[in-house]
Amino acid sequence: MSVFNPYGKISEVRAFAIGAAAVFCAATIGYFANALMLSPLKIISGLNVAYPVFLIAQFLIWLVPALIFYALGKLLSPSHIRLVDVFSFTAFAQVPLVFAMAFFLPPCAGEILNPLNILNESYLMQTSAAIGLMLAAASLIPLIFGLVWLFNAVKVSANLKGARLWGTYLTGLIGGDIAVRMLMVSLLSTSFAMSGLAASDANAGSSKTSDSPIAGRYEGVIKAPGQTLRYVVIVDYEDGEYFAYSEHPDEGGARLPIDKFSKKGSNVEFSTSQLGISFKGKVNRGATEISGTFSQNGLKIPLKLKKTEMKDEKGFELKGDGPMMSGKYSGDLRFPGQKLRFELYVEKNGDKYDIYTKSPDQGGGKMAVETFRQNGRDVMFAIPDIGVRFEGKADDSSDLVSGTFFQYSFKIPLKLKKD
């Protein structure tokens, strides 16, 4: 058995059993590392999705290319092609993925896969980013082995040579990559919608037992080993529900959504799964201070958050020729098999504008826009902390904006019409 071609003496049954086990192992490791194989050629992190999503992704990465290999093998091979051979040997080619995913178990390696971190200069200056980059680079070795094994799996199971072999392999690999990405976009859009609705239900339930809202801006200091970091939590209370996000002034000013926020009596709990952060504490009688324990990746630190005045540094000055956008704009994000409503608000606040978004089908919480620009008819806005960017053009009255919505690897047409 060669290290580059392991199919010399292995039976179909044994190859299938080992390959199926490898798929489960790779999915499980990816789940704990928060590193999702979106397709055979792409890995991403920073997604808060359930374990079945990781498992489905790994099975699709195996099955979809295998089906393409089998169909082309039946068409191009002079020999009789058996489906069991193609499925078994391509399954065995998943074994190197287990070792590739293991490199992302250290948190610093998973963080380097998050597209938002690549754009964060303060993050890239950290030692953990360098270590994560080295681990990600090292993972390429087993990934390359996986591609070589997959090539030989096609060669052995389909009995192809030369141009027919390379054409079948590249078509299955690239075509499978495109097909799996499309399927995963549909699955993830559904998963995000369900998690958003679940969070909305959880927040609504917690608001019923709360004796008073604690909306406002709270700031504290995290005294971690070797460093002191400011930590800000902004809580919004609207229609009986809590929505919150955090700011990190000493880490590039990142603003991240808080997944879950609840208040029951004087007890307050919230978490940001993207960073592994959770907090449990109590609010005082006047809601001017929240004291408790801040936890992140096993580290627990006492934290006292004191209420401060809301800052207005996020206001935008809108200047330009012709009508500028103002008011509420609505549109639909049409994922494959899923439609999500999306809303953009451009509201005047003194001599500036507050700009934020809402997704009614994902809890309806406010998400502040970090960057907004309207230059003539060209419109752009972005929320880097959740990977959102929009680029489009307004009509002459700025009542309709048509363009493209980007989030991580998703790219979706979007029309925003003024209500």
Question: Same domain, yes or no, for 244 and 297?
Answer: yes
pTM (2 d.p.): 0.54
CA-angle at 36, arms to 274 and 185, nearest 5°: 95
Residue 340 lies in a domain: yes
- The residue count for the chain: 419
Shortest CA distance to 48 belongs to which of 28, 34, 29, 59?
Answer: 34
- Which DSSP helix (H) or strand (E) runs through 83? helix 83-92
317 domain residue, yes or no: no
Q: 227 and 171: one domain?
A: no
The reply to whether 192 and 225 lie within a common domain is no
CATH number, domain at 261? 2.40.128.120
Q: Which domain holds residue 413?
A: 327-418
Among 130, 146, 194, which residue's Cα sits nearest to residue 43?
A: 146
Pairing state of beta strands 327-335 and 378-383? Answer: unpaired
In 156-183, which positions are buried (b, 16+ CB within 10 angstroms) versus exposed (e)?
A: bbbbbeeebbeebbeebbeebbebbbeb
Determine the distance from the C-alpha atom of residue 148 to the mean position of all C-alpha atoms in its chain, rounded to a whole number. 29
Q: What is the mean pLDDT of each run of 10 residues along the chain (419 residues)?
A: 78 92 94 83 71 91 95 91 92 94 84 58 67 88 93 92 94 92 73 43 38 77 77 81 80 72 88 84 87 85 84 56 85 78 87 83 74 83 76 91 82 91
- The 3-class SS string of 183-194 reads HHHHHHHHHHHH
Integer angstrom CA distances of residue 266 from 208, 212, 258, 286, 295: 13, 9, 19, 11, 19
Do 79 and 180 share a domain, yes or no? yes
131 found inside a domain? no
Q: Say yes or no: 183 and 253 in one domain.
A: no
**pLDDT score, position 287:** 84
Is residue 185 located within the same domain as residue 269?
no
Q: Same structural domain for residues 282 and 385?
A: no
| 386 and 269 part of one domain | no
pLDDT for 47 equals 60
pLDDT at 384 (0 to 100): 66
Nearest Cα to Cα of residue 242 among 213, 271, 284: 213
Summarize pLDDT for 7-31 with one digit per residue, the tens.
878 888 999 999 999 999 999 999 8
Instruction: Please give the pLDDT value at position 273.
Output: 76
56 and 169 in one domain? yes
- Quick check: is 368 in a domain? yes
45 plus 163 within the same structural domain? yes
Assess if residue 267 is contained within a domain: yes
Residues 333 and 412 in one domain: yes
The tally of domains found in the chain comes to: 3
